[in-house]
Amino acid sequence: MSTKKKKRTSRRRASSGTRKHKPFKTRLWRAFLLLLGFGLGLLAPWIAWLDHVVTSEFEGRKWDLPSRVYARPLSLYPGLELSAEALEAELEAAAYRRQASVSTPGSWTVSGSTYTLFRRSFEFEDGSQPALRVSVDMADGEVRGVRGPSGKLDLVRLDPAEIASIFPLHDEDRSLVSVESAPPLLITGLQAVEDRHFKNHPGVHWRGLLRAVAVNLKAGKTVQGGSTLTQQLVKNYYLSDERTLIRKLNEAFMALLLELHYDKAEILEAYLNEIYLGQQGRHGIHGFARASEFYFGQPLEALSEDRLALLVGMVRGASLYNPRRSPQRALERRNLVLDIFGSTGLLSAQQVSVAKARPLGVTARPTTGRSRYPAFIDLVRRQLRRDYREQDLRNEGLRIFTTLAPSDQKAAEAAVIEGMSALQSRGLPASLQSAVVLADVASGEVRALVGDRSPARAGFNRALDARRQVGSVIKPLVYLLALEHEQDYNLLTTVLDEPISLRQADGSTWSPDNYDDRSLGPIALIDALVQSRNQATVRVGMNIGVQSLISRLQQLGVEAPLPAVPSTLLGAVELTPLEVTQLYQSIAAGGYAVRLRAVTSVMHPDGDTLNRYPLRLVPEHRREAVALLNYALTQVVERGTARELPALLGSVKTIAGKTGTTNERRDSWFVGYTRDRVAVTWVGNDDNSPAGVTGGNAAMRLWAGLFRRLRLKSVDLDMPEGAYWTWVEMERNALSDPDCDGAVQMPFIDGTEPQQPSPCLQRLDRGNQRSIWRKWFD
């Protein structure tokens, strides 16, 4: 082979080798471009999806806010009848804290008979109320004077106690705060501790993130986080807590996208309201505003530097630094945050030193969120459901103002707890249950309600749902109907307490007995009621008509089926304690009925009043007849079946009341009222078995235990127009005179008084007798 040919061969080989190398590089580059394109093809939809999630949820963000339920606000003014114990109960319920000096809203102290308290600010339906330091002078069970910084005040309204929350289904509890209204130290301090580059980074602080990665790789586990405030918000708002690379990538990209679309103020405000800061039962505490109320019982704007530092420190771990469970660890974390506040110039060295010397200052237990009065809140929710959907109650952040008086509720709960224990010690069954309803006579506002012998226990609410026969507590309505027929009946009308047999629809015969198995024969109508005579009551009721009683019960709000049978006249009708309270409210109010209510108004979070529940008085009875019945019921307490009540009360005030006992002593009832309060107590077994109880040996004792703790005002026995007081001799049903032996004053509807003078009156030979003593209270 020639040299030339060899050279050509070498060139061909070289050329051939070059051609083989170029296709390999091309394929590698093409593979890279393909993978890059494929990656970008996948990344673009992924980023687009993340962007959609970020913008759609953040722009339309609307936190589901629980509804807040408040007790009635206590108004203090000179002349208000209020004991020192009741005032302290009201302050305790509203989470006021007793301190040596009153320097912050929500605190109080007492010196002698003068209470000094710092009222919190509060937004009422009639406007905003600022914080105010006031002094209240107390003496002899009443407020003698109220003073503020500028002198005497006519009235001071305290912020109401928060008694419950109605939570969203996801069980997050929060109150909202804006960036503008948040304490400046919270805004700057949060950034100093958690994200010093917040104002400048685009959502992710790359150097901090890389530093955290390096530390974690060196440690072999996650020991340091590099998350910005924006990333923390993304994690809380959008993502789960799982620690995976995919979640961390999602967090970083979503943080970048969030900062791309929204300004720093919007992001920071969302963070302030979203961050998790604790747990109450199954409800998570979210946001600084709610955490302030949860841990300190104060609004966020009222917190001092040390308390703000504690909340900021808890961002790193709400459970780890829980000040109630781990106070020492929380104290150390708080002091570390205070040092950061000092090193960054947010606080001076002296401010840091003073703040670190303070205790944590958290309340012993949360005063928010939980339903402290489950039976009453049950009534509130039932009344609200007439106007609101359950979803609205759970999600709209409504502010619900109720009628509950915390001091009255405390008295009712104590009466039940102590009273039921006392009944057991007297030999009654330990299985007994009880219920109490206390209402204002004039307004029908429910002041206290207990549905279980253990008042804090939620579940079966006997005050609303224990439908039991009411026994003799129905009798006053029978006699009221009779007295409205004044041409036939007055308090001295003779009625027969004799055996009576009535044929029933099924052909059987019903023959009621008296509780003592005796019949007294002819008896005055008032004595038939005072002594609770069954046979006399049935005779009066049959003359009036069973249907008349049923119609009156329905008129007063009873919705349950009512049997049109004679035994209804003796209380063989099943009512709840709340329904019985409704019946007697109209009697105690002199014939004016008002629907019992637990809610006064509902406000939207923006301040608009959505609903008011005004007072509506409706005349349901003839007032003259009610006035006579009121007197008769005071006689039940003075000399009838409730005659032991004054001794139990330790008071000589004039009280009206009625006992009730059902067959085989299954149920014990007592209904009583003063000038301004009406209350019903019930005692019995849940299974309706015989319990050995009577109206006097059980329920009346609970009623007495309640009213021993309340101020007592005698029943108003002034006669309305058309009725008057006169002196009579009861045995002869004759007119008499105060100078005659056995003469008593008794009310009559004009024209129904006795016409014949007694022998004593005749002897006195008063020529113009009627002009002297008639119309005693004209």
Strands (E), 382-529: 399-402, 433-440, 446-450, 468-469, 494-497, 502-503, 509-510, 521-524
Query: Does 751 score more than 50 pLDDT?
Result: yes
pLDDT one-digit tens code per residue, 351-409: 999 999 999 989 887 766 567 899 999 999 999 888 777 777 776 788 999 999 999 99
Are 444 and 574 part of one and the same domain? yes
Dihedral angle over CA of 49, 51, 56, 60, nearest 10: 160
Question: 429 lies in a domain?
Answer: yes
Are 497 and 630 part of one and the same domain? yes
Are 459 and 485 part of one and the same domain? yes
Are 186 and 323 part of one and the same domain? yes
Are 92 and 9 part of one and the same domain? no
- Contact by Cβ (8 Å): 117, 107: yes
Structure tokens that stand for 209 in this block:
């993130």
How confident is the model at residue 621, as a pLDDT?
Answer: 72
Q: Burial of 9 by CB count in 10 Å (0-12 exposed, 13-18 middle, 19+ buried)?
A: exposed
- Counting the structural domains of the chain, the total is 5
How confident is the model at residue 10, as a pLDDT?
Answer: 39
Alpha carbons 650 and 642: distance in angstroms, whole number: 14
Are 484 and 570 part of one and the same domain? yes
How confident is the model at residue 681, as a pLDDT?
Answer: 98
Q: Which CATH number is 248's domain given?
A: 1.10.3810.10
Question: What average pLDDT does range 694-703 have in this prediction?
Answer: 96
Alpha carbons 250 and 252: distance in angstroms, whole number: 6
Looking at the annotation, which residues are catalytic?
Answer: 194, 472
Query: Does 614 score more than 80 pLDDT?
Result: no
- Please enumerate in sequence order all residues whose Cβ is within 8 A of that of 252, keeping only pairs 6 or more positions apart, or say none: 203, 204, 209, 231
pLDDT one-digit tens code per residue, 30-65: 555 555 555 555 566 767 766 666 666 666 566 677
Are 465 and 345 part of one and the same domain? no
Q: Which CATH number is 148's domain given?
A: 3.30.2060.10
Question: 437 lies in a domain?
Answer: yes
If one counts every other C-beta atom within 10 angstroms of the C-beta of residue 540, the result is: 24
pLDDT one-digit tens code per residue, 633-689: 999 999 999 999 999 999 989 999 999 999 999 999 999 999 999 999 999 999 999
Structure tokens that stand for 650 in this block:
């330790």
- Contact by Cβ (8 Å): 177, 300: yes
- Contact by Cβ (8 Å): 443, 615: yes
35 HSE (CA, 13 A, CB side): 5
pLDDT one-digit tens code per residue, 479-507: 999 999 999 999 999 999 999 999 988 88
Q: Of 357, 380, 404, which closes a domain?
A: 357
How confident is the model at residue 9, as a pLDDT?
Answer: 41
pLDDT one-digit tens code per residue, 79-91: 999 999 999 999 9
Are 730 and 749 part of one and the same domain? yes
Question: 402 lies in a domain?
Answer: no
Domain interval for residue 26: 2-48
Query: Does 767 score more than 50 pLDDT?
Result: no
- When the pLDDT of each residue in the chain is averaged and rounded to a whole number, the result is 86
Q: Of 318, 339, 357, which closes a domain?
A: 357
Question: 89 lies in a domain?
Answer: yes
Question: 403 lies in a domain?
Answer: no
Are 160 and 182 part of one and the same domain? no
Question: 388 lies in a domain?
Answer: no
Alpha carbons 700 and 562: distance in angstroms, whole number: 26
Alpha carbons 603 and 585: distance in angstroms, whole number: 28
Q: Of 134, 165, 196, which closes a domain?
A: 165
Looking at residue 455, its amino acid is P
* pTM, rounded to two decimals: 0.83
Q: Which CATH number is 599's domain given?
A: 3.40.710.10
Question: What average pLDDT does range 300-328 have in this prediction?
Answer: 93
Bridge partner list, 679: 438, 672
Q: Could you tell me the end-to-end alpha-carbon distance of the chain, in angstroms, rounded to an integer?
A: 155
Are 472 and 330 part of one and the same domain? no
Bigger pLDDT: 303 vs 581: 581
Question: 712 lies in a domain?
Answer: no
Are 571 and 677 part of one and the same domain? yes
Strands (E), 26-141: 67-70, 75-76, 97-98, 107-111, 114-119, 122-124, 127-129, 132-139
Q: Which of 515, 466, 512 is nearest to 688 (CA)?
A: 466
Are 641 and 531 part of one and the same domain? yes
Query: Does 95 score more than 80 pLDDT?
Result: yes
Question: What average pLDDT does range 107-127 have in this prediction?
Answer: 93
Question: 391 lies in a domain?
Answer: no
Residue with structure tokens 């440690």? 219
Query: Does 196 score more than 70 pLDDT?
Result: yes
